[in-house]
Homo-oligomer: A and B are copies of this chain.
């Protein structure tokens, strides 16, 4: 019994290949998380259990896909950055996006009970088929390092704007006794300074002391030994120049570099040994990136052993 008679239907399949030599960002978003956060009684404006679960799932994604240099998460969204040199799945878009979405979902759901219940203060609810957490996703290509940096800046600025709003809003409701409608009205037309002022003068809250995870979001990446940040040490405004040097190095190698098999195997091992960490830090300015040149270069940095000793340069 031959199958060939119907196999013509494969000709209807389309395969989109993402443009080579561009940074690929896969961004996932929780579907209907407003409703879901009520169902599982997430704390407002930020539920640490829920955010830790997001970070847990993101860590799994970064660990299992070495081509990802970094994940950045805030609220119910996470962006994963693939190095511009990646050839994972021959850069097939659907395969890349769905693999990330599925891995993230799987880790989120399996971790659900642990984070929802055990970390909760008694009120945790186990995951239920009635309200399954799901995520959609998309891929975007960025042709230059600066475009990519601006993408991450966009997300982190958004995080700041939303968190300041939400913190003030829920403080007005939870401590100020306003209804949600009243709080919304109250905040109409206010700028950042106004909100900081409301928090401070009426509730004694210094926004700067809020947890970094809420203010900055979460950055998930492989950590190696930090390089010195020249701009910080020298007290000079040389961050820009430093960064440009990086760009040259990378942009210059337009002809795809041929890495020997031995080298690739070595890099793979280094990546596997590297710890995937979660940090709540600024990614808008240059310091974070200057100290971690492996993010832009895609080449593993120097490992740190358990005693904190850095391996020597090879």
Which A1-23 residues have C-beta < 8 A from chain B? 1, 3, 5-14, 16-17, 19-22
Determine whether A183 belongs to the interface, using a CB cutoff of 8 Å to chain B.
Answer: no
Which A47-95 residues have C-beta < 8 A from chain B? 60, 84, 94-95
Determine whether A276 belongs to the interface, using a CB cutoff of 8 Å to chain B.
Answer: no
Q: In the complex where A3-B158, A157-B3, A247-B247 touch, is A98 in contact with B136 (Cβ < 8 A)?
A: yes
Interface residue count on the A side (C-beta < 8 Å) = 76
A31 touches B110 (CB 8 A): no
Determine whether A259 belongs to the interface, using a CB cutoff of 8 Å to chain B.
Answer: no
Quick one: which of B7, B98, B244, B252 contacts A98, CB cutoff 8 A? B98
Neighbouring B residues of A138 by C-beta, 8 Å? 13, 94-95, 98
Q: In the complex where A3-B161, A247-B251 touch, is A129 in contact with B110 (Cβ < 8 A)?
A: yes
Interface readout for A98-139 with B: 1 if CB under 8 Å, 0 if not? 110111011111111000000000000001010011111111
CB distance from A167 to the nearest CB of B (A): 15
Determine whether A248 belongs to the interface, using a CB cutoff of 8 Å to chain B.
Answer: yes
A193 to B, closest residue via Cβ: B1
CB distance from A201 to the nearest CB of B (A): 20
Neighbouring B residues of A132 by C-beta, 8 Å? 60, 103, 106-107, 110
Determine whether A212 belongs to the interface, using a CB cutoff of 8 Å to chain B.
Answer: no
Neighbouring B residues of A158 by C-beta, 8 Å? 3
Interface of chain A: mostly helix, strand, loop or mixed:
helix
Determine whether A192 belongs to the interface, using a CB cutoff of 8 Å to chain B.
Answer: yes
A154 touches B109 (CB 8 A): no
CB distance from A243 to the nearest CB of B (A): 9
Which A221-254 residues have C-beta < 8 A from chain B? 240, 244, 247-248, 251-254
Neighbouring B residues of A33 by C-beta, 8 Å? none
Neighbouring B residues of A149 by C-beta, 8 Å? 254
A-B pairs with the 5 shortest C-beta distances?
A: A146-B254, A143-B143, A6-B154, A102-B134, A109-B109
Q: List 9 A-B contacts (CB under 8 A).
A: A5-B255, A7-B154, A8-B150, A8-B256, A20-B143, A21-B147, A98-B135, A149-B254, A247-B248
